Structures are given as C-alpha cells and as structure tokens.
Structure 1
Amino acid sequence: MIKAIDQFAGFGGFSWAARQAGAEVIWAANHWPDAVHWHSQNHPDAEHACQDLHQVDWSQVPAHDLMLASPCCQGHSKARGKKSGNPQHDASRSTAWAPVSCLEYHRPEAGVIENTPEFVNWELYPAWEMAIRALGYQVSPHIVDCADLGVPQHRVRLFIVLTRSQAPLILGLQQHQHVPASSFIDFSTGTWTPIERPGRAIATLERVRNGRLQYGDRFLMPYYGSGSGLTGRSLDRPIGTITTRDRWALVDGDRMRMLTADECLAAMSFPKDTRRPDSHRLTVHMAGNAVPPAAGQKVIEALLAAA
C-alpha cells in the first residue's frame, strides 16, 4: 500500500482524500493544537506532530511514497485583500519551503502540493520551483474547479504534482457532473429567523428580493461579500466557495438561516461520519481551510494511475 504523509494537515481533507484513494496516511502535522486533535480523532492510525513545520527534524518523520502538503494560502489568496507588506502574510508564504526540506531529506516518489492559484504568482515561486527541480522532481501545476471533480462547491484550487518522471505529468482528470447544493441542504435543521425583522440590513433584504425574483422561495445567497452578486444562487447548482466563517445564507419563504456546520462539511465533501468539534465556529473555520476530500481523491487517484 502507498504510504503518505500530510503536512499542514489541518482538519484532514487531504488525509481523507489519500485514504479514499487507497493510500495509508502514516504521519500528519500541523502547528494548531485544535487541528491536530481533530485530525487524530478522524485518523487515529497516523502518527501526529503538533509543531511549526519549519522546525521539523525530518529524520524523525517516517519514510513515505507520497508527500501531501497544503502550505498556508492566506498570503497568496485574493481573499486577503489588496494590502501588501503584512508580516503575517509574508511569514505564511514562507511555509511553502517546508515541503522542499522534506523532499530533500526523504526523496519520496511523488508529491502533491495544494494552494490557491495565486501561489504561482508569488515573487519567490520561480526560486521555489527551481529548488524542487534541483532535487530531481518534475513540477506540474493543475488549476481545477473542485466542482468539476465531484465536490458540491465551486472552489478553484491549485494542485502541483511532483514526480520523478522524464517530463511533467499531466493528470487525466475526468470532469464529473456537477453536484447541486440541494444534495446537502436540510430544511428541517438549523436556526431559522424571520427575514422581515427589526435591524435586518437593507442590503440583505435587497438580496432576498432579487433572489426571489430569480429562484422563487428557496435559494442560497452570500450573507456578506460579492459572491453571486445581488441575486442569490440556485440550489440546483454547486454552492460558491466555503470560507472560514459563516458566509452562505439559506432562504426558505419568509425565513432564513446560515448554513449549519454539518452542511459546510458536506459542501466540502467530508464523509458523513467525520468527527468534529461541538463548536460551530471552529468547525466552519477548519472546514473552510481544508482540501475538499473528493477533489484531492481524484487528483491522487489520477497520479497513482499514471505513475
């Protein structure tokens, strides 16, 4: 069986992906204790490390065939806004060097690094890629909409495939039929409130009115931000990107609510039996940072099939 490790494992989306693709996750690490705790609850057979991955002694990490890594994406993502020179974002970008150190020590047969598409626009990306090539790996970036890989969510992500092949490996990713948001919405649960109530923002009421005109009594809409504009979103198509805080509201006639934590996990394609915190806020935060398991699975399967 293929043995894999998961760097910046977070809530374990990449680990679920590897398991579902037939690999064994033998080691996982993250700097955040809450993430490590819940990863260990869902992947108890893996060895876990809670530490800054810049400080890892790679000789203490087990040998593996496949390296998975999701370095911090906030420093690259459009979602961080237009501010530059933010020390926190600058530090987060440097996390991308940890997988390079791992590759240098362990030399696994292959690796997959996940991030936002803007990662390739990083000022140091050419040097980062050159370092990986110097270690004998081909570097093949794939930008995909996770909805095309069976996730009920439009989420454009970058998967960089690293192999020891003669040429960069272009994965044969089959486009899947889109899964609608209605597949995970449960109208019988959640905390509903009347749409027409004192203090409701005018912008929210306008979005509800416009959504009703286009979609009828039941639809999704962004509660903040510009996603889906002012008209909402049909339940017959994938939801928009799940973020690290409550974003999507569900409208049903004269009532509305935010998505539940379980619906957010389902929108990310986590298995139904995934163990999660009781805290709604913490679950949503970890889900919004995760690799969608269904998308990661398709990428890993395509890599293993081509290897």
Structure 2
Amino acid sequence: MLTYIDFFCGAGGSSSGAAAVPGVRPVLAANHWDRAITSHAENFPDTDHFTGDLHDADVARFPAADLFWASPECPKWSNARGKRRDFDKQPDLFGETLPDAATDRSRALMWDVPRYLDSTRRRGRPVMAGVVENVIDVRAWDLWQTWREDIRGLGYDTRLIALNSMHARPVTTTWAPQSRDRLYLAYWHRSLGRAPDWGKWLRPRAWCPVCEEAVDAIQAFKNPRRDMGRYRQQYVYRCPRVACRNTVVEPDARPAAAAIDWTLPAERIGDRAKPLATATLNRIRAGLAKYGAPLLTPAGGTWRTDAEPVTIPMPTRTTRENDGLAVPPLLVPVEGRDGKYATPATSPLRTQTARNETGLAWLPYLIPLRGGGDKERARPVTDALTTVTASGNHHGLVTAPGFTPQEATLLVPYYGNGTARPADAPLGALTTRDRYALVTGTLPEVDDVRFRMLEPAEIGRAMAFADTYRVLGNKREKVRQYGNAVTPPVAEILVSALVEAVTGTSLDREGNAR
C-alpha cells in the first residue's frame, strides 16, 4: 500500500482520483480553508486533516509519504479574472517592483513543494513520486526554471504535462465533460531506476478519418519550441500513423449535456422579477439565431467569449459560477462585460469561476391536448412527437407570438420506434406506406425563453465528481470548492503512471470508466 499526501487539497478532487488507483491510501490532506477541509473529511473520514496556512506550517512535522500531490493557489497566476497576467516582474513609474501581497503569496506557495520534499529527504524517507498542479500561466513565471531545478536537485526526474481534463481517459472515475486546461509537473525519484509509461496514460483515443479506425492520439505542439499551452490554441492531437501523414484528430470527449439536470425547472425570461441585463439578452438572441441545440454560455469576467453546445465537454471550472445553460438550450453569459456570446449546450462548459455567471435558456415546446397519463408531459420541439392517432389532432405547439418567422422544421415518423429529425437531415428509409409528418414551428421571442443558472450539483458533475461525493456549505461555498478542485480523472491517470513506476507493477488501462 502506497501512502499519499495532498497539499492544498480543496474539497478532494485530487484525493478522489488518487484513491481510485489500486494500492493508494490518502493519509493526510491539508488546506487553509476550513470549509474545504470539512468537505474533504466528510468523504475521507480515515484520512488525517490539517487546517491552516501551509506556507507558515512546519512541514518537517508532517508525516512522510510515498506519493505527494500539491495544487498551490492559482488565482494570481490565472487569466480567469478578466485581465492578462505578466509574471515577469514589472517596475512601476519609479522603476521599482511592488507586487501585491496576494501575488507574492501565490508565488511563495509554489516553494512549499520543494520545501516539503527536502524535509522528507533529510529524514531519510524521500517522497518517491508526485505531481504539482496549477494553471498553465504559471509556466511564464520568471522563476519557473529555478523552481523546477530545485526539485530536480533533490533527486527527481520531471515531466511537464499540458493536459485538458476532457481528454483524461480514466479507468475508475468519471470522465470530465469540461474543457479545462491545466499544467502538471510530475516527478519521480531517480533511485527507482525507471520512468513512468506516459504514453500508456496520456494518449487519448480518437477516430482517424483517414485510417478509418480508432487510434491512440499523440500530442503535437504547433510551435515545437513550446512545452505548455491550451488545447487547440497551442497544441492538437494527431494520428500516430505516418501512412495518413499524422492527420489531426479529435479525441473522444463527453459533452456538457452529461452534467446538466434537464428536469430542473426554469423561469420564463419575461416573468422574471429582475430583468436580465441587456448584454445577456443580446447573447440569447444571437444564440437563438445561430444554434438549434442547448448552449453553455460564458457569464463570468473571463477571456472566454463564445457560447458552446452541450454535446462537447465543458470549459474549465473555476471558483466562480460563470456558465449558464440556455435553451434551445443556450448557455448565456450574464455578467456585464462585452464580447461574450451564447453557445449551444452541445459544447463543453467554459471555465467555472466563483460567481454564478452563466444562464440556461429553453426553446419552444409541444404540449399534448388529449387526456390520460400523457396530458402533463410537455416536450421540446426537438423531441419526437407523441403518437398520432386517427381520432383528432392532439398536439399543441407553444411558441411566441409575433416572432419573425425562422422555421424550426422536423420530420416526425408515425411508427413508434422512430425519432424526429431536422428536415435538412437525410430521410429515413421510405416504404410503400406514408410514414412521415412535417412539423413546423417558429423560434420564440426572448421573453418566452426559459432561463436558469447552473446548480452546484451540475458544476460538480462538470468537474467529474461522483454524484455520491458530498461537498458541504452553502451554494456559494460549494461553487468555490468545485471550481478550485482538480478533476478526479486527471489525478487518477497521472497517479496511475507514477504508481507503476514506483512499484514496477503494471495497472489495468481499460477498466470500466463511466
């Protein structure tokens, strides 16, 4: 059994992923926020917990462990607060550098990692392997190379990893339906005499359209001199086969829709006691015109601008609630900054911050007019129609009056095992009998769209926490804990690679991930 310590543990995302690896036992979790420690302890009652400022703690008194995970505070490194960060120290008008206290603290916390590693080395019980997690912007820190060499000087080899959570292919934990770019520095002690098999754990499955088969994709930076960045912006994935000239491929990922509870009610925008901001309404209008599917929409003060469909993973979760779900459905930004757009819920969620800044809006819906058990089962126009009978028209379409006609046309099969499809999609097999009906409708006025914010449980699913995992506190505290967390599937695959290196034993790669 390998012991595991988690610094800056938050609510326990990294611990959850590590604990899912066979033979790993969390023995200590440390964090400065008592609410996060309470949540962690609720889920890991047999683990010791330390509440306090780790930078001021005597780490030499902490137990030594085989594995060590650390996620130093990231806000002062990140661009998620709406402005770009330059980590090379910038002088003021008088030529002096005066960083604020919070920035100094974020940087100081990074040094707590080699400080703990050195303390265990001095006790003759060195950590065998570990991971440091942070936002990718920390790579621009002016002391990055010095800090990394400090770890290497303590007897470790290192591997810098750029990984988006939606591409982590877990064995036990849940896939993350969220696009979350993070930096991971993995390290392992040279005395092991072997390195982790990173290719086994870091190559996502993807379909190569040229080879016409599923492959284990390889990461490729657009600029070969770079070693860190965001998916699609700085790097892509390619097919490993030279026969197709290493075609760019899209790895498997889970859509944001997987995290959304579609049973939760939403209020009609025109009935809201507090009207939505003009910018938010404009984003919804633009999204309605562009998409016919659910959207996740940026609502926080971040650099992300586009709403996205729920059929692809969510964007990064942060400590603020900054995504809403809009129907057709649209995800709509609700903060006041310009430059943001509604997106379909078929895309990944964007970065989650500590504020509730994204709304969800709904399309028109169909209502049955017959009696019986189906009379209260309204359904969206994108669903199949209920049974068409010979006794009369039993379907009503709820739409907005006076909306400029923009056709929402569906072909609906009469038979029971078929599904509705857009009129511009290929028609199903035609037989000698009349099998299809044409259903048309119009998109609603914005006031008739239903709108709500994402709930903490949905944000938790976007972060790939199991539904059984308990995060405590009020809504605001839950969002903050989720947004600060590490997605469990990433911790699982990175720790799995390190465990193999430490033990020399191969772990199952496929398993039964959900």
Shorter-normalised TM-score: what interval? over 0.9
1:215 aligns with: 291
Residues in 2 aligned to 1:304 and 1:284: alpha-carbon distance in whole angstroms = 31
Equivalent position to 2:455, from 252, 260, 266: 260
Residues in 1 aligned to 2:304 and 2:289: alpha-carbon distance in whole angstroms = 18
Residues in 2 aligned to 1:260 and 1:92: alpha-carbon distance in whole angstroms = 29
TM-score by length of 2: 0.57
Deviation at residue 46 of structure 1 after TM alignment: 0.5
Contact 1:11 1:290 in 2 (8 A): yes
Residues in 2 aligned to 1:201 and 1:53: alpha-carbon distance in whole angstroms = 41
Equivalent position to 2:198, from 148, 171, 175: 171
Contact 1:276 1:283 in 2 (8 A): yes
Structure 1 residue 161 and structure 2 residue 162: aligned? no
1:8 aligns with: 8
Give, as a single letter, the amino acid of the residue that structure 2 aligns with 1:47: D
Give the structure with higher Rg (CA): 2
1:249 aligns with: 359
Root mean square deviation of aligned Cα = 2.0
Q: Residue deviations 1:156-187, cap 9 Å, x none?
A: 00111011246875722131520011112112
What is the aligned length?
A: 306
After superposing the two structures, state which structure 1 stretch, 294-303 or 17-26, moved more. 294-303
1:142 aligns with: 161
Q: How does 1:59-74 map to 2 (within 5 A)?
A: 59-74=60-75
Structure 1 residue 195 and structure 2 residue 269: aligned? yes
Q: Going by fraction, where is helix more abundant, 1 or 2?
A: 1
1:181 aligns with: 256
Q: How does 1:267-306 map to 2 (within 5 A)?
A: 267-306=462-501
Deviation at residue 8 of structure 1 after TM alignment: 0.5
Residues in 2 aligned to 1:160 and 1:244: alpha-carbon distance in whole angstroms = 25
Give, as a single letter, the amino acid of the residue that structure 1 aligns with 2:466: P
Structure 1 residue 133 and structure 2 residue 149: aligned? no
Gaps of 5+ in 2: 91-98, 121-125, 169-174, 206-251, 307-339, 364-448, 503-514
Contact 1:242 1:267 in 2 (8 A): no
Give, as a single letter, the amino acid of the residue that structure 2 aligns with 1:42: N
Choose between structure 1 and 2 for higher RCO, CA contacts under 8 A separated by at least 6 residues: 1
Structure 1 residue 120 and structure 2 residue 197: aligned? no
Gaps of 5+ in 1: none
Residues in 2 aligned to 1:167 and 1:141: alpha-carbon distance in whole angstroms = 17
The 3-state SS of whatever aligns with 1:151 is: coil
Q: Residue deviations 1:95-141, cap 9 Å, x none?
A: 01111111012221001010011112111212211211110111211
Deviation at residue 50 of structure 1 after TM alignment: 0.7
Give, as a single letter, the amino acid of the residue that structure 2 aligns with 1:5: I
